[in-house]
Amino acid sequence: MIISFDIGGSAIKGGVALSETEITPLGRRPTPLDDFGAFVDTLRTFITEAGGKPTLLSISIAGVVDPDTQLLTCANIPCIHQRTIAADIEAELGVPVLVANDADCFAMAEAGLGAGRGHRIVLGVILGTGVGGGVIANGRLINEAGGFAGEWGHGPIVALRAGHPPVEIPHYACGCGQSGCVDSVGGARGMERLHKTLHGLDLTSEEIIAAWLRGEEKAARTIDVYIDLVASPLALTVNITGATIVPVAGGLSNVEPLLHELDKAVRQRILRKFDRPLVVRSECRVEPGLIGAALLGLKAEAEVLG
């Protein structure tokens, strides 16, 4: 029995996995932010509720494990930030622990049970508040040891001119400490930033998209520039990884006309040509973090046993 967790800054979700087709949610509890003992006790409560001793705890988390030191960077949960989180939890609970980034777990869920089924290389993409990603190759997460592989949202790569006709766009500061990252323009906050730069208007991404779908000229200009800025880095990532499918999650993935435009632009800019959609809406819409963590745990368990 695998117990999987999806851990965020507001809630911890748990689930029991017996096989790929038997993954049962255990509900959710508030995340203790400042007390590691309370954090571990919350995990222990899920284990007790599941009944029986698990063979492995598999965790999806909004953070990154350093592959060399095994230290977790997770600034929004201070009690686990900069801990050797897998070893520390294992010491407390007496069960082996596997930890993976939430975007990587999403990619694993899509590769195993979602839009990536049957594809050798899957690039999972998050277009939410910001931008994230993960890569699965031959059914394996390439980030199994931790690290930043697949994080196409960061690095000073965004064009300084975009749109039709082109307009100059500044390199915005990014939360990672750099400037000109896809994360600074590609998520919902980035779209809002672009709209303010282009038109001097403070609108939410929902308002911008609604106006675009109504045919409003200023919103259409913003979406044109947005697609141009995001498509090129995504096309480059597809070229580098060799992905043959790009499932997308996050709030912006719910806008299918936006994904259609992004898919069209990406397919025009990649080396390998596809006569089918490449950038698609994710299929694992319910608890992809739990599902991806469970699949990682089941794979790890199978390799130990066999």
Q: In terms of C-beta density within 10 A (0-12 exposed, 13-18 middle, 19 or more buried), how is residue 5 classed? A: buried
Beta-carbon contacts of 5 under 8 Å, excluding residues fewer than 6 positions away, are: 12, 13, 14, 15, 43, 46, 57, 58, 59, 60, 61, 290, 293
> Is residue 207 included in any domain, yes or no?
yes
> Is residue 107 included in any domain, yes or no?
no
**Considering Cα of 245, then 123, then 141, then 132, what sign does the dihedral take?**
negative
pLDDT over 80 (residue 291): yes
> Is residue 106 included in any domain, yes or no?
no
What residue spans of the chain are helical by DSSP H?
A: 36-50, 85-93, 102-113, 183-186, 188-199, 205-213, 217-241, 256-269, 288-305
Q: What distance in Å separates the CA atoms of residue 191 and residue 226, rounded to the nearest whole number? A: 7
Quick one: pLDDT band at residue 75, thresholds 50, 70, 90? confident
Whether residue 188 sits in one domain with residue 64: no
Whether residue 172 sits in one domain with residue 233: yes
pLDDT over 90 (residue 145): no
Whether residue 229 sits in one domain with residue 136: yes
User: What is the number of domains present in the chain?
Assistant: 2
Nearest to 115 by CA among 288, 290, 231: 288
Whether residue 14 sits in one domain with residue 96: yes
> Is residue 149 included in any domain, yes or no?
yes
**Structural domain for 83, as ranges:** 2-101+286-305
Distance of CA 194 to the CA centre of its chain: 22
Q: Are 141 and 104 in contact (CB under 8 A)?
A: yes
> Is residue 110 included in any domain, yes or no?
no
Q: What share of the chain is helix, strand, coil (3-state, %, to 5)?
A: 40, 25, 40
pLDDT over 90 (residue 40): yes
> Is residue 24 included in any domain, yes or no?
yes
* Residue 81 belongs to domain with CATH number: 3.30.420.40
Whether residue 9 sits in one domain with residue 65: yes
- The answer, as to whether pTM is greater than 0.75, is yes
pLDDT per residue as tens digits for the range 118-138: 999 999 999 998 999 999 999
Whether residue 37 sits in one domain with residue 176: no
User: How many other CB atoms are found less than 10 A from the CB of residue 280?
Assistant: 21
Whether residue 214 sits in one domain with residue 151: yes
Whether residue 191 sits in one domain with residue 70: no
pLDDT over 80 (residue 166): yes
Coil vs helix vs strand at 278: coil
Whether residue 151 sits in one domain with residue 276: yes
> Is residue 108 included in any domain, yes or no?
no
> Is residue 109 included in any domain, yes or no?
no
Whether residue 231 sits in one domain with residue 206: yes
pLDDT over 70 (residue 305): no
Whether residue 58 sits in one domain with residue 132: no
The mean pLDDT value for 55-68 works out to 93
Percent of the chain residues past pLDDT 70, beyond the cut: 99
pLDDT over 70 (residue 306): no
Whether residue 142 sits in one domain with residue 269: yes
Among 23-27, 181-185, 259-263, which is the least confidently predicted range? 23-27
Q: Are 15 and 290 in contact (CB under 8 A)?
A: yes
